[in-house]
Amino acid sequence: MGYQGTELDRRIAREHFAPLHVVQRPRPVRLEELGRKATPESAAETHVQVNGLWVPKQNLRDATIVSLGAQSHPRGLAYELDALTRARLCHLQHPHWVMSGWTAAAQWGLEYFVDDPGFRDLQVTPPVLTLIHCLKSLWSGEHSWNIPVGTGLTDAGVRAVQLVDAMSRIFGIDPQELPEACAHHLDRRRMEVLTSWCDQGGESPMETLM
């Protein structure tokens, strides 16, 4: 059997609206989009140049958050720009690429996964496949973040519950629908145990832990 998330993807796509933070996030631009008289010097007052494009300075992440993120990242990567901005930069440079994994999750609305209304040509993997990619990334140790101790679950288990909670809220679905939708790509029993820990009412990763 092949991918089994198509029906759930279609339902999500029919009912999904881009979160406000996705719609309102300032976009990277080319120099000429800043005005006919714009120069690199004038642009540098409000933007930073990244790979030939100009990103609003307000999109830069706080240095402390960047440092903390690098400490918890398995490869020590420090991201000065949020995932949404990085995805948009990538799209502007490679418009035919399809975003997947955590990049696609950011586009759908994950803050802490919809084609972007400001970038309607930006292609991303469908909702369930995006979640599958992210869970595989967590379970393989390719991606992580800091979590408190003493939850009774493994670190990867806590992160997986937080992720499924967040994406279920964004997509407006019941986590119990996921074991079937993910069955051909992820172990069904493992997904059943995972979703049994999920709390649909959790509004944030910290609420999930509570």
Rounded to 5°, the CA angle 182-185-188 comes to 55
pLDDT band at residue 122 using 50, 70 and 90 as cut-offs = confident
Whole-number mean pLDDT of the chain? 87
Residues 141-170, mean pLDDT to the nearest whole number: 89
Given a contact cutoff of 8 angstroms between Cβ atoms, the answer to whether 161 and 197 are in contact is yes
| pLDDT tens for each residue of 52-90 | 999 999 999 899 988 988 888 888 888 899 888 999 999
Tokens at 132, concatenated? 């599958």
- The dihedral through the CA atoms of 119, 107, 126, 141 has a sign that is positive
User: Torsions phi, psi of 153, nearest 5?
Assistant: -115, 165
pLDDT band at residue 116 using 50, 70 and 90 as cut-offs = very low
Q: Give the span between the Cα atoms of 68 and 76, in whole angstroms.
A: 10
Tokens at 25, concatenated? 């996030």
Tokens at 200, concatenated? 């649909």
User: Parallel, antiparallel, or unpaired for β 123-124 and 47-50?
Assistant: unpaired
Q: What is the pLDDT of residue 117?
A: 45
pTM: 0.77
Q: Give the span between the Cα atoms of 60 and 66, in whole angstroms.
A: 10
